[in-house]
Amino acid sequence: MTIDPWAMAEQNPARREALAYNARSFAGDVWFRFSKKPTALTGMTLVVLMALFAVFGPMLTPYDYDKQSLSMGNIPPYFAAVSAPEPDRFFYVTANMKVIETDGQGRLIRQLTKKTDDFAASRVSFEYNGALVYLDYGVNPPVMLDPDGRPLTAGKRLWNRSYLLGTDHLGRDILTRLMYGTRISLTIAFVAAAVNMVIGTLYGGISGFLGGRTDAIMMRVVDIISTIPLTLYVILIKVTLSSGLSGIIIALSSVYWVDMARVVRGQTLSLREQEFVLAARTIGTSRRAILVRHLIPNAMGPILVTMMMLIPSAIFMEAFMSFIGIGIAPPMASLGTMCNDAVEALRANPYQLFLPALMVCLIMFAFNFVGDGLRDALDPKLRK
């Protein structure tokens, strides 16, 4: 059988307009590309996990962010203890030469009461169950001595079961403070992002859509704001405001929208020349409706990406301000204040700085990954 290359093709009106591939909605399309990127998915998982940690974590811990027990300060999550004269009891000597009694599982019981400190003999005595035990600091590291003056050598490494991630200098639970700190960071992230998105989008949208002299004036204002580093503005604004969460949010929201305004203006400038805007105008749509219902939704991709990229810098800014001492008021925990508290004791208790710093890193990574993934997913040029 031969095929006539010039025969008429079968006419099928039903299939004429059909597409050769599966149509996906815009959102579905974005999700498809987003989910194909492992870093983006990792970032999103991390964000969700951290949100759960911050929101539900405090319900599960027996401590509060400002609950202090001064005698249990500066105890790390993992420590080496020596056996006490009593069975199943251990002594842990802190970096500040205090002696903590623990049980065999690593639960902290109490701080021993110091009786005397004989500097000449380099020996501190502590009361322990009616007898005296000694800490000899003439040797390095210091050694615990039993009531008869014999060194206590047997011992083991224990995980801190009372405070899973250890305590800070005032004996507050670091895990609990991390939860509250993360909560502050995430609150700042979402509130600052939302406020900046609203202000930036409207400002940029109006500027771009109206054009002409209005645009020139509005953009010069943005230029003036951005000539000075935003960090400087935020610090200056913060100094005059009350200390607290609202102060930081106001400080961040008042200047961080300039990037957003620029992006939206650029988008609006190109979109407003397109035919659908002309069409809308011809049927008498108001300018306000054109801006809000047509232009801004069409610029949503870049807006979302800018917003996601703004979140990490807002979080970092809050941590930075708290770190230099003008952020969240104590005793509230913020990752920045936790780092600040720990810096001085860096050599004695490094875990106090490491944990909040790690948390800041994780949050920054997570949001950057999500932002990156979103940018790629929203870019039509990368469509495969």
Partner 1 sequence: MTKRIALLLAALVLIGSVALAAPAQELVFALQNEPDGFDPSVTNNSFASPFLTNVFEGLVTYDTTDGSMIPGNAESWTVSDDGLTYTFTLREGLKWSDGSPLTAKDYLYTFKRILTPETAAQYLNLVTDYIEGAQEYYDGAGSDEALGVKAPDDRTLVLTLKTPAPYYLSILTMWTFSPVQQATVEANGDQWTNKPDTYIVNGPFKVEAFNMGESVVLVKNPEYYDADKVKLERITFRYITDSATALMAYEAGEIDGSRGFPPNDYARLRASDAGVVMEAAYATTYYDINNAKAPYDNPLVRKALNLAVDRVSLIDNVIQTPALPAFSLIGPGYVVDGVDFVEGRSNFGLSETADVEGARAALAEAGYPNGEGFPTLQLSYYTNDTIKKVVEALAAMFTENLNIKVEISNEDWAVYYDNIQAGNYEVAAMGWGADYLHPMTFLPLLKTGDANNLVGYSNPEYDALVEQAQSETDPVAAMEIMRKAESLSAEEYPLLNLYYRANTMLLRAKVQGFYFDYSGSIFLKTAFIAE
167 binds partner 1 (CB under 8 A): no
Q: Is the separation of the CB atoms in 166 and 160 below 8 Å? A: yes
Contacts from 334-342 at CB under 8 Å and sequence distance 24+?
A: 334/181, 334/184, 334/185, 335/178, 335/181, 335/182, 335/184, 335/185, 335/359, 335/360, 335/363, 336/360, 337/181, 338/168, 338/174, 338/177, 338/178, 338/181, 341/168, 341/169, 342/168
143 binds partner 1 (CB under 8 A): no
| Residue 31 Cβ vs partner 1, minimum distance, rounded to whole Å | 46
329 binds partner 1 (CB under 8 A): yes
Which residue is listed with tokens 């149509």? 23
Please pick, from the candidates 96, 105, 214, 274, the single residue that binds partner 1 as defined by CB under 8 A: 96
| Residue 234 Cβ vs partner 1, minimum distance, rounded to whole Å | 16
Number of residues that bind partner 1 (CB under 8 A): 36
| Residue 341 Cβ vs partner 1, minimum distance, rounded to whole Å | 8
Distance CA 32, CA 356 (A): 34
Burial 278-301 (b: 16+ CB within 10 A, else e): eebeeeeeeeeebbeebbbebbeb
Of 197-205, 235-243, 279-287, 314-322, the window that binds partner 1 (rule: CB under 8 A) is: 235-243
| E strands in 154-227 | 155-159
Read off φ and ψ for residue 32, nearest 5 degrees: -60, -50
235 binds partner 1 (CB under 8 A): no
Residue 116: DSSP 8-state = E
Of 33-41, 186-194, 266-274, 345-353, the window that binds partner 1 (rule: CB under 8 A) is: 345-353
Q: Is the separation of the CB atoms in 260 and 308 below 8 Å? A: no
80 binds partner 1 (CB under 8 A): no
Residue 8: DSSP 8-state = P
Of 8-16, 26-34, 309-317, 321-329, the window that binds partner 1 (rule: CB under 8 A) is: 321-329
Q: Specify the pairing of strand 113-118 against strand 123-128.
A: antiparallel
239 binds partner 1 (CB under 8 A): yes
Q: Is the separation of the CB atoms in 41 and 35 below 8 Å? A: yes
Query: Which is nearer to partner 1, 66 or 146 (by Cβ)?
Result: 66
Please pick, from the candidates 55, 60, 97, 198, the single residue that binds partner 1 as defined by CB under 8 A: 97
345 binds partner 1 (CB under 8 A): yes
348 binds partner 1 (CB under 8 A): yes
Please pick, from the candidates 267, 341, 356, 378, the single residue that binds partner 1 as defined by CB under 8 A: 341
Query: Which is nearer to partner 1, 71 or 286 (by Cβ)?
Result: 71
- Distance from CA of residue 138 to its chain's centroid? 44
Binding mask 50-79 for partner 1 (x = CB under 8 A): ----------------xxx-xx-xx-----
Query: Which is nearer to partner 1, 48 or 343 (by Cβ)?
Result: 343
Positions touching partner 1 (CB under 8 A) are 66-68, 70-71, 73-74, 95-98, 114, 122, 137, 140, 142, 169-171, 239, 242-243, 325-326, 329-331, 340-341, 343-349
